[in-house]
Structure 1
Amino acid sequence: MGDGVVKNGAYKYEDGTKYIGDWNAKGLKHGAGSLLLPDGTRYDGGFQNGLCSGLGVIIFPDGAKYEGEFMQGWFHGHGVFWRSDGMKFEGEFRGGRVWGLGLVTYADGSHGFPRNEGFFQDCKLVRCRHCPDIVQKAQKISMMARAQCN
């Protein structure tokens, strides 16, 4: 078993968290799975050694959602994050934060003035720059994550 998956099954933790999916020999979530937290947060996607990793979709109780790449439990790589108020960010993430190139779109479809597109550092726009290639890659990865989880 090159991928480390040794069994598939469901488990309910003492705190009410439920997991259905693949496990490795160490008893850690590993492979494809679905995690439902007691607060209603739901994650569907890849796991590696117990942590969200690879492509996935996470939906929060308030309706906020992220579709994209994960690494060691964090949003990390390319993806799309929608806030519950309808604002979205399409671009790069690092360690669970908006960090890298991307574009903000507000609920009304506008991008702000000046346009909120460019290099973001810790969720703040620090340098304006047109980056349609990064936005397109984030959209593609978001779509791939959604397709994998359906």
Structure 2
Amino acid sequence: MGDGVAKNGAYKYDDGTKYIGDWNRRGLKHGAGLLILVDGTRYDGVFQNGLCSGLGVIVFPDGAKYEGEFMQGWFHGHGVFWRADGMKFEGEFRGGRVWGLGLVTYADGSHGFPRNEGFFQDCRLIRRRRCPDIVQKAQKISMMARAQCY
């Protein structure tokens, strides 16, 4: 008896949270699904044993958005995060934070001066370095996440 998708359906939790998608035999969200929280946050993507894991898109009530890889409920891997004010980070994430190589783009389309590209640790630029390959991979993963939405 594996932990694969056992059924598909919708459920509304007592707090008003809604889930539409796949479930495993243990009753956990598992596979493709859409989770809508009471505050308006929406996650559309892959679940594994109840947590966001794999490719997904999350949109927050203030308009901020992340498209990319998730692991055990966190932004983790490659992706693109847009803040509500239009600033964008394309690159690597670890444990829900900007962590790794990437590029910041401000709402006006600039990257700052000097250019905000390189190695970030806990959302702070530590070392400047060109990393077009990582930015391109983040853009590709973001597009793939958007394409597979529920």
Q: TM-score range by the shorter chain?
A: over 0.9
Q: Where does structure 2 lack aligned partners over 5 or more consecutive residues?
A: none
Instruction: Please state how far the C-alpha of 1:3 moved relative to its aligned partner.
Output: 6.2
Identity of aligned residues (%): 90
In structure 1, distance between residues paired with 2:110 and 2:103 = 11
Count of matched residue positions in the alignment of Structure 1 and Structure 2: 150
- Aligned structure 1 segments of 4 or more residues deviating by more than 6 angstroms: none
After superposition, the C-alpha distances for 1:1-36 in whole angstroms (9 at most, x for unaligned) are 866100000000011000000000110000000000
After superposition, the C-alpha distances for 1:62-113 in whole angstroms (9 at most, x for unaligned) are 0000000000000000000000000000000000000000000000000011
In structure 1, distance between residues paired with 2:80 and 2:113 = 21
RMSD (Å) for aligned C-alpha atoms: 1.1
Instruction: Please state how far the C-alpha of 1:134 moved relative to its aligned partner.
Output: 0.0
In structure 2, distance between residues paired with 1:137 and 1:115 = 19
After superposition, the C-alpha distances for 1:113-148 in whole angstroms (9 at most, x for unaligned) are 111000000000000000000000000000000000
* 3-state SS of paired residue (1:6): strand
Contact 2:3 2:25 in 1 (8 A): no
In structure 1, distance between residues paired with 2:61 and 2:103 = 24
In structure 1, distance between residues paired with 2:121 and 2:40 = 29
In structure 2, distance between residues paired with 1:39 and 1:61 = 7
* 3-state SS of paired residue (1:40): coil
In structure 2, distance between residues paired with 1:113 and 1:40 = 36
* 3-state SS of paired residue (1:16): coil
In structure 2, distance between residues paired with 1:68 and 1:75 = 7
In structure 2, distance between residues paired with 1:144 and 1:118 = 24
* 3-state SS of paired residue (1:149): coil
In structure 2, distance between residues paired with 1:37 and 1:13 = 10
Q: How does 1:1-150 map to 2 (within 5 A)?
A: 4-149=4-149
TM score, norm. by length of structure 1: 0.98
